[in-house]
Amino acid sequence: MKTLVTGGAGFIGSHLADALLAAGHQVTVVDDLSRGRRSRVPTAARFIQADVASDLRAVFAGSGAEVVFHLAAQIDVRRSISDPLLDTRVNVLGTVGVLQAAADTGVRRVVFASSGGTVYGDTDVLPTPETAPLRPASQYGAAKVAAELYGRVYGDLYGIDFVSLRYANVYGPRQDPHGEAGVVAIFSEKMLRGEVPAINGDGSQTRDYVYVADVVAANLVAIDGPPGAYNVGTGVECDVNELHRRLQAIIGGTAPATHGPAKAGEQRRSCLDPTLAASSLHWSPRLTLDEGLRLTVEYFRSDPGDR
């Protein structure tokens, strides 16, 4: 099958491109390389450097893609607050452009990388199911909700199967340790360099950490699963202080983390209920947090170029 991955030079997208090729699919990668790396695009994939918010109809037509995985995004919650116009351009207008190009070129399915960590906002229902109200607390979360709504509209108007995968906090090899997002990569990089990471606020804020290989597996089963919105998480909360302790146990060292001010727009608790994905897509996470953390640390330790 012919597939196309936007953001395929990035963290999750490059892993997905590898997996699609391994499964026997043809892959076209579209990435503007603003965050992704050309070296991460598999050699067997066709690569096109393009802005996701530009007109992609010719690119889609040339690829012949039947299924498009839309992962290209502005991923920093804090950047969305400081520069909401940029966030909207990439995450809303970029998604609309992808959907329009899909409609114009006969794409049958779009699998969208949404954010379960932000679309629900702070909620009393944990783990949070897909039936919970969507109450984002940041422009980034609002953009993801808007993109999902556009996906449903394009599905109704043009018959595109739209699948929204609401990721929990994804971590693993190739995650950028120098950005604002990705606490596992940031902490790992600092600890491996003998530095002390800083925790925002008191560290009691919780997240649901899901390993990148499990997220890729969810994308693969979404090729043929029922359209709709699905949480892609573990259903297990872990606070930032505990995450720091676990990484410290793997890497070594005893220095306590420092604490800085809490960040605007940051949720206190986030944990996703993956029951629907298990019943409808037959997907469940396979790796425990400790297993995933060990693999991630091994990667950064063996590949200092990613640090």
The answer to whether the CB of 194 falls within 8 A of the CB of 142 is no
The answer to whether the CB of 60 falls within 8 A of the CB of 68 is yes
Q: Which of 120, 140, 211, 230 is catalytic?
A: 140
The answer to whether the CB of 283 falls within 8 A of the CB of 272 is no
Task: State the alpha helices, DSSP H only, in the chain.
Answer: 11-22, 57-63, 77-82, 84-88, 94-105, 116-119, 139-158, 183-192, 212-221, 240-251, 275-276, 289-302
Q: Shortest CA distance to 3 belongs to which of 16, 214, 103, 43?
A: 16
Structure token pair of residue 195: 């530095």
Calpha distance 215→300 (Å, rounded): 19
| Burial of residue 307, with CB atoms counted within 10 A of its CB: 0-12 exposed, 13-18 middle, 19 or more buried | middle
Tell me, rounded to whole angstroms, the distance of Cα 220 from its chain centroid.
Answer: 14
Please say if 140 is a catalytic residue: yes
Task: Indicate which residues carry an active-site annotation.
Answer: 140
